[in-house]
Structure 1
């Protein structure tokens, strides 16, 4: 098979024909890269289109659960409409950023992170601090590589297995299956686990579901998907609230899924919010 030319690849991308031809074009290219400055490992995600979002209306639980935080009509109202999203190639962190990696880049840990727990995910990080981390790491690399927070679309595609034909389901079939890939159990202790303590998903990423929430680059709006562009969508409205993804060790089963959208004030911090970052191709 002849390699795809840039023009042909662009035409295939524009037509949404990505599942076979564009993956064939990626054959033989490096799949992982480790940043020598921080030790962060990245997995390459090839250019592709996928179906983003969720049109299903998930009913709230009758008792306890998410009903107590006013999810009265649907647990997934802000995940619609489902729509096509096309992404350029990017590299996403295999793991959540650890305390050791944060300290390597920033020099000190955010308040509330204990010393000596090197392989736990760094938490209590504001959105602004997360952005500062990516900017500092870019500067440490002499701007040869640019790092940033992932968009919602990039995060969700990786969570779904980073392939338009992936068999990864949005929702694990049951709690037993969830426990194989995610540190998430509302009955469990509050503390997150060491990164990579569960099996990776189909694309090789650990802990995209559970463990700690992860900041994204997108501002939050309940109707953001109605305004998404087809290519590399990102909702940026100058809001003081950003989207967090993936849930945490304390997220209930019904909410631990790839399409679930959380949100939190950018200037605030929480003991179960951390980050995972992107290296641009």
Structure 2
């Protein structure tokens, strides 16, 4: 991977990649809860407001796949405008849902997950299947707790370190730092790692960047941020594509950042697309 030039370094600050001083809440041990049925762990994120999105123009890496495909547009055109959002408290999964945890709730794995270790993230899951998993887990708890996919705003806040004042200390500024905390930008053949293989973020989460893409609750709309409500925004437009976040083992460094918005058809599966859940208060 080529060194990052000064222009790119400047845009990292606004795209969720420059580390700043951590909020005091991140200096203490995160408050966690573990589901006794599946072992799913959740980290509590306090009610807060933060600045979501990115106004910078993020160009493809000169030596990356986008440029080789003659794609020279901004990779961040749908991440603007940067805007304030406020979230109620919620609990976000500490890890991506594993194959074992999927089987415990659904009884069997989605097609294409055979012959892989149980502690790898479950993949090849459609958006509908991901929601069905959350609904069944809710039912198993007799609706005492409600589980669901995170919204874009919830996912991004966690990735930023659940820190209203800045960004997570552990968010990488270059490829070497990324390789320390996330499996990403790996040449083929590449497969995900077991969840929790790399260090946790300061907020207590594993694999928010890299490993496998993660479904969110939001439908994909390019100009969604211009329409966001201030409180608990979610885009529900009954469209056929949903937002995916975080990148994967195959994602280039410039795309493996907290503000990157991917999209994928709800009815389709991908070998590097999984999920993590929210437990509501």
* Both proteins in one fold, TM over 0.5: yes
Question: Deviation per CA, 1:252-274, whole angstroms, max 9, x where unpaired?
Answer: 01111000000000000000000
Q: What residue is the counterpart of 2:65 in the other structure? A: 65
Alpha-carbon distance in 1 for matches of 2:120, 2:39: 14
**2:57–2:75 contact (8 Å) kept in structure 1:** yes
Of 98-107 and 68-77, more deviation after overlay is shown by 68-77
Aligned to 2:119: 119
1:82 is matched with: 82
Alignment partner of 1:232 is 2:232: yes
Equivalent positions of 1:14-29 (< 5 A) are none
Q: With the length of structure 2 as denominator, give the TM-score of the two structures.
A: 0.87
Seen in structure 2, the aligned counterparts of structure 1 residues 170 and 60 have a Cα distance that, compared at 3 Å, is farther
Q: Deviations over 1:230-249 (max 9, x none)?
A: 00000110101000000000
Give 1:41 shift. Answer: 0.4
For residues 101-112 of structure 1, what are the structure 2 equivalents within 5 Å? 101-112=101-112
Q: Supply the distance in 1 between the matched residues of 2:148 and 2:207 (Cα, whole angstroms).
A: 19
1:178-227 deviations in Å (ceiling 9; x for gaps): 01111102325321000000111110000000000000000001101000
**1:70-106, Cα deviation, whole Å (9 max, x unpaired):** 6422011111000001000000000000000000000
- The answer to whether the aligner puts 1:254 opposite 2:266 as a matched pair is no
Partners in 1 of 2:154 and 2:201 — Cα distance?
15
CA contact (8 A) 2:168 2:203 kept: no
Q: Identify the residue that residue 280 of structure 2 maps to in structure 1.
A: 280
Partner residue, 1:5:
none
3-state SS of 1:155 partner: helix
2: CA distance, partners of 1:87 / 1:93: 16
CA gap of 1:177–1:142, structure 2 versus 1, over 3 A, is same
What is the aligned length?
A: 258
Contact 1:171 1:256 in 2 (8 A): no
* Residue segments in structure 2 that go unaligned for 5+ positions in a row: 1-22
Q: Secondary structure at the match of 1:264?
A: strand
Q: TM-score under structure 1 normalisation?
A: 0.87
What residue in structure 1 maps to residue 42 of structure 2? Answer: 42
Distance 1:70 1:161 in 2: 34
Q: Give unmatched runs, 5+ long, in structure 1.
A: 1-18
Distance 2:199 2:105 in 1: 27
Q: 2-side partners of 1:71 and 1:221: how far apart?
A: 20
Larger RCO (alpha carbons 8 Å, 6+ apart): 2
Residues 1:140 and 2:145 aligned together: no
Q: Distance in 2 between matches of 1:230 and 1:47?
A: 13
CA RMSD in angstroms, aligned pairs only:
2.1
Structure-2 residue corresponding to 1:11:
none
